[in-house]
Structure formats: C-alpha cells, structure tokens
Chains A and B, each alone.
Chain A
Amino acid sequence: GENVEQHPSTLSVQEGDSAVIKCTYSDSASNYFPWYKQELGKGPQLIIDIRSNVGEKKDQRIAVTLNKTAKHFSLHITETQPEDSAVYFCAASVTNTGFQKLVFGTGTRLLVSP
C-alpha cells in the first residue's frame, strides 16, 4: 500500500521567512496530493492540493510542487506570519474504483515567531 513520509517533524522560522515542508510517497499510481493545516483542537483544513497532471500550483503565499519521477511533493509558504503556526499534513491518494482514500504523512509542526 501507499506510504507517505514527511519532513521535518518540527520547523521554527522567524516571521517573514519562508518555510518548506517535504513529502515522499511510494505508490506511483497516486494521483492526488492535498495539504492540510490543523490548528490546536480543530479538524484538518485543506489549504492547497495538486493533481498528478500538474507540476506546480500557487495560491497567494502558499505553493505546492510535485515531482512525479522522484515521487515527492513539497509545500512552500512565503512571508510567514504567526497565524501560520499549526501542524501541516501532506497526503497522497490513489483512486480505486472511483473511491479516493487518503494516506497521511506524520505531520510537521510549524512555529512562526514574531
């Protein structure tokens, strides 16, 4: 089955710096890669996603890149702000008979200091 590895487990940056979180996946059939942000005491919230037919996607300060050959994808946050502090999860999905089942990475705790 699919296995997703995520690094680093914790990341501390100064406000205004950039943050990069990296994930690798094992199943070459995976075709959908979302990123979720989880704040303390809340459920995960989708912040950006990318499909296997696209190499890069950007939404304001957030961008995701996908390298299908190497089977890795990354989240880039620019101009970080204290409110970006949260746990970020990557995930990979293989569609099986029309059903999408996400496999999550182990999470990255991002701390943005003012």
Chain B
Amino acid sequence: EADIYQTPRYLVIGTGKKITLECSQTMGHDKMYWYQQDPGMELHLIHYSYGVNSTEKGDLSSESTVSRIRTEHFPLTLESARPSHTSQYLCASSEYGSSGNTIYFGEGSWLTVV
C-alpha cells in the first residue's frame, strides 16, 4: 500500500482564485510527479521532481507551478484558476534508482473552477 496523501480531495472555486493542491508521501521517495486526468481519460504528466529543489515540466503544458522544498512534500499551485483547469490532479511518487520502480498514486484532487 502506498502512503501518499492529497488534499483537498474535492474543491470548487471561482475563476481567478489562487489554489494550492497539497501532496505528501511518507515513503521517503526521491521522485514525485503530478498527473492531470480528465474523467475517464488517460493520465498526462504535467510536473515531476528528481528530489529536493528539483522541478521539471512534464509532457502536457500546464499553467500550474510546483515546488519541492522537502522530500515528502510536492505542492501544486494555480495562481489564477480558470474553468479550463477543471480536472482531476493525481500526485505520485517512486524511488530513485534502477529502471522500473513502482510509481504509487494518491487518491487524487478533483478541482472544479466555476
């Protein structure tokens, strides 16, 4: 079982608001990820991190930003939310090392921007 936690699970906010989605893992994993998933659709990588002070853009362009100040924490921030940001955001983590390490997902944060 993965120990990766996301808050909030569900959020409805107004256009133009700033929002931070929290993600924490207690497994000591170096690598962390944020995926975006529309309902019933595939997952797209939007951000990832090799470790503390490392952040990289993923395959899907996103207006969100991330930070990695502590190993266990990888928050995602939207400075000014828009309806197009409505989606599910999934945080994940894995160990650094040889290829094929398991990626563990959190339960997801459902964001609706009205």
Contact = CB atoms under 8 A, between A and B. Distances in A.
B90 interface: yes
A105 B42 contact: yes
Which size class do B's interface residues fall under? 20 to 34
Interface string B39-63: 0111111001010000000110000
Interface in A92-112: 93, 95, 98-107, 109
A114 interface: no
Interface string A28-51: 000110101000011111100101
A89 to B, nearest CB: 7
Interface string B78-111: 0000000000001010101111111111111000
11 contacts: A32-B100, A42-B107, A42-B108, A46-B103, A46-B104, A49-B100, A93-B100, A95-B98, A95-B100, A98-B97, A98-B99
Interface of A: 1, 31-32, 34, 36, 41-46, 49, 51, 87, 89, 93, 95, 98-107, 109
